[in-house]
Amino acid sequence: MAGGLRVLFLSPEVVPFAKTGGLADVAGALPGALKRLGVDARLVLPLYRMVREKDFDMRPVLENLKVPIGKENLTANILETQTEDGVPVYLIEREDMYDRPNLYGTPEGDYYDNFERFTFLAHASLKLTELIPFRPEVIHCHDWQTGLVPALMKGPYADVPFFRDIRCVFTVHNLGYQGLFSAEKLPLTGLPEGQFFRAEGLEYWGKISLLKAGIVYSDAVTTVSPKYGQEIQTPEYGMGMDGILYHRRAYLRGILNGVDYGRWDPAKDSHLAANYSPQKMGGKSRCKKAIIDEMKLDRKLNKRPLLGMISRLDAQKGLDLLVEIIDDILALEVALVVLGTGDEKIQNAIQEAAERHPGRVGLKIGF
């Protein structure tokens, strides 16, 4: 890859700052990997409460940045920190929008004002980009929370000289989360209704879909694997978006998510009870014993298979299937440990299974 390419990543979550799922892992690892190839990469995300609580070294770079929301101008402060790889990170501070216990909602449902929160993120990201000493050649947006950005670049920001020739890439990490909102909220975006709220635009069955906005208005669309890129163009897996994805197939690429082996290496991971490698596997049994003890499972399981699952607890991830067969799985004399958060009904169902099978099921709510 030629050096000097400038890429700005916009993501609603990034490891190690804020995380609910695999999106954060990709958004945290990819900029560092590109930096090692000579790319000048930067990151933008909201300054959530969980970011502030981790006590990163942050410095203010912009104060009272004016951000348009409908007919009003709100303000935001911009702070800067960096990743372990030295990638600059710009954090958008707006207390009433992002200083909350969770990123997107509670187990009972999404926050009622998520449209406003992520419309604000889209405008604030573009506004701060004009003011920092960095002009990207590519803006890389991730999932529905940033899907408005490509539309804005084709709309109210199209005539801004700064954004001319900047290309926009949109990555679909999970097609099940489509950013659906009432059409009445469109004026908050600043997008002209006649030009954008139509079947060929961001309109989706009478609603706004911010995911569709990202797919339609970006210069290129990527997703998490070649196979998934094919599957989402079909009615079976397209979740209602297969038509528009097929229409944009010339601009759609499936790129397999990589793994940051510098971070995910059991041979040197300090968080494990013991390290192990293909050449020295003894530490793996000590790790298994540590999980059994931590989850207060039956110690007889040291000699039985222990199954582990790390996932968002959601039907879209297939957790409803786990709930249906969990008793059949446990009938095989194995144990199950689940780490995740999400749908309260699924959480309760796994907890009930733990009560029916004492010492055989461990559930930790978190991610």
Q: What is the pLDDT of residue 3?
A: 53
Instruction: Report the CATH fold assignment for 295-365.
Output: Rossmann fold (3.40.50)
Measure the CA–CA gap between 310 and 339, rounded to whole angstroms. Answer: 5
CATH 3.40.50.2000 fits domain 6-254: yes
Q: What is the pLDDT of residue 343?
A: 87
pTM: 0.86
Q: Roughly how many angstroms between the first and final C-alpha of the chain, as a whole number?
A: 34
**Which tokens belong to 129?**
């980009």
228: left (phi over 0), alpha (psi -120 to 50) or beta: alpha
Measure the CA–CA gap between 186 and 174, rounded to whole angstroms. Answer: 23
Sorted by where each begins, the domain ranges of the chain are 6-254, 295-365
Task: Map residue 297 onto helix, strand or coil.
Answer: coil
Q: What is the pLDDT of residue 293?
A: 94
Burial annotation 22-34 (CB, 10 A radius, 16+ → b, else e): bbbbbbbbbbbeb
What type of residue is 125? S
Tens of pLDDT along the chain (367 residues) come to 445 899 999 999 999 999 988 899 999 999 999 999 999 999 999 999 999 999 899 999 999 999 999 999 999 999 999 999 999 999 999 999 999 999 999 878 999 999 999 999 999 999 999 999 999 999 999 999 999 999 999 999 999 999 999 999 999 999 999 999 999 999 999 999 999 999 999 999 999 999 999 999 999 999 999 999 999 999 999 999 999 999 999 999 999 988 888 888 999 999 999 999 999 999 999 999 999 999 999 988 888 999 999 988 888 788 999 999 999 999 998 999 999 888 889 999 999 999 999 999 999 988 7
Measure the CA–CA gap between 138 and 166, rounded to whole angstroms. Answer: 6
φ and ψ at residue 87, rounded to 5 degrees: -80, 125
Domains 6-254 and 295-365 share a fold: yes
Q: What is the pLDDT of residue 317?
A: 84
**Which tokens belong to 76?**
């935001």
Q: What is the pLDDT of residue 314?
A: 85
Q: How far is CA 64 from CA 53, 60, 295, in A?
A: 22, 11, 47
